[in-house]
Amino acid sequence: MSKAQYVTGLRAVEHLLAQRAAEILKLYVEYQTANPRLEAVIAQANDRGIEIQSANRARLQQISGETRHQGVVAGIRRSQMLNEAGLRDLVEKMFTDEKQLLLLVLDGIQDPHNLGACLRTADAAGVTAVVVPKHGAAGLGPTVSKVAAGGAETVPFAAVANIGKVLGWLKDYDVTLVGTSDAADKTLYDCKLMGPLALVMGREHSGLREHIASRCDELVSLPMEGQVESLNVSVATGICLYEVLRQRK
């Protein structure tokens, strides 16, 4: 089992047990930890017939790669992972069901903490799926799952070979592509964010790659009234997603 198939931390594991217990293959727990929440997790896992293996703190760190594992690590089979074909099927299903499509496209986020924070907000904002490059970017793993606090286990996650190609066929479905750029003339609040939409966010420090920005229908910036020049990508993602939600509500 690869690191990308481990979920670490009480909140993420509690969420899994409540929503997707069937995906848990095995639970590794530190029985010596006197914690009512951990005891409740163990009890729920026993009730569901999930295999539980005792592991000390060092073993949990070895399994998950995380020092702050809170005494529990779940080995899982992720059902929410999509390839490009699966993403296309999901997009087509949204149109068939007449639901409002909202994709979050992350063009190469490097920091798993930022990816986890984006996934947490994506879940809260009702994002249809998160799309990332398969190579050269952070992927799902223990740190992402812990920071996402359950979001990594609920939001469909598509790792694709070519972001530009995906943006191209999204246009065939009349999905509006809105990218973020510090150099954009229009602000987020000047943009209509209704209808089928893909919000495209750039990577830390460098922003959207030029060929990705060129595929967007609109580029928008966030108003910056203070001295700092830019926001953390996960913070900017949260602001943008909730503006979409505000307009749609």
Judge contact between 166 and 84, C-beta under 8 A: yes
What CATH code is assigned to 3-76?
A: 3.30.1330.30
pLDDT in tens, 6-22: 888 888 899 889 887 88
81-248 shares the fold of 3-76: no
Query: Which pLDDT score, from 0 to 100, does residue 2 have?
Result: 40
CB neighbour class for 97 (10 Å; exposed up to 12, middle 13-18, buried from 19): exposed
Query: Which pLDDT score, from 0 to 100, does residue 3 have?
Result: 40
More confident residue, 37 or 230: 37
* pTM beyond 0.75, yes or no: yes
Ranges assigned E (strand) in the chain: 6-8, 24-29, 51-54, 72-76, 81-82, 102-107, 129-133, 157-160, 176-180, 186-187, 197-202, 218-221
More confident residue, 43 or 22: 43
Query: Which pLDDT score, from 0 to 100, does residue 94 have?
Result: 92
% pLDDT > 70, the chain = 97
What CATH code is assigned to 81-248?
A: 3.40.1280.10
What crossing angle do the helices spanning 36-47 and 10-19 adopt, rounded to 10°?
30
pLDDT in tens, 141-196: 778 877 887 777 789 999 999 999 999 999 999 999 999 998 899 999 999 999 99
The edge-to-edge listing of strands for the beta sheet with 24-29 is 6-8, 72-76, 24-29, 51-54
pLDDT in tens, 81-131: 899 999 999 999 998 877 899 999 999 899 999 999 999 999 999 999 999
Confidence of residue 64 (pLDDT cuts 50, 70, 90): confident
CA-angle at 138, arms to 203 and 178, nearest 5°: 40
224 HSE (CA, 13 A, CB side): 14
Domain-wise residue ranges, the chain: 3-76, 81-248
pLDDT in tens, 19-32: 878 888 899 999 86
b/e per residue 13-37 (b: at least 16 CB within 10 A): bbbbbeebeebbebbbbbeeeeeee
Query: Which pLDDT score, from 0 to 100, does residue 1 have?
Result: 38
Mean pLDDT of the chain: 89
pLDDT in tens, 111-120: 999 999 999 9
Query: Which pLDDT score, from 0 to 100, does residue 79 have?
Result: 62
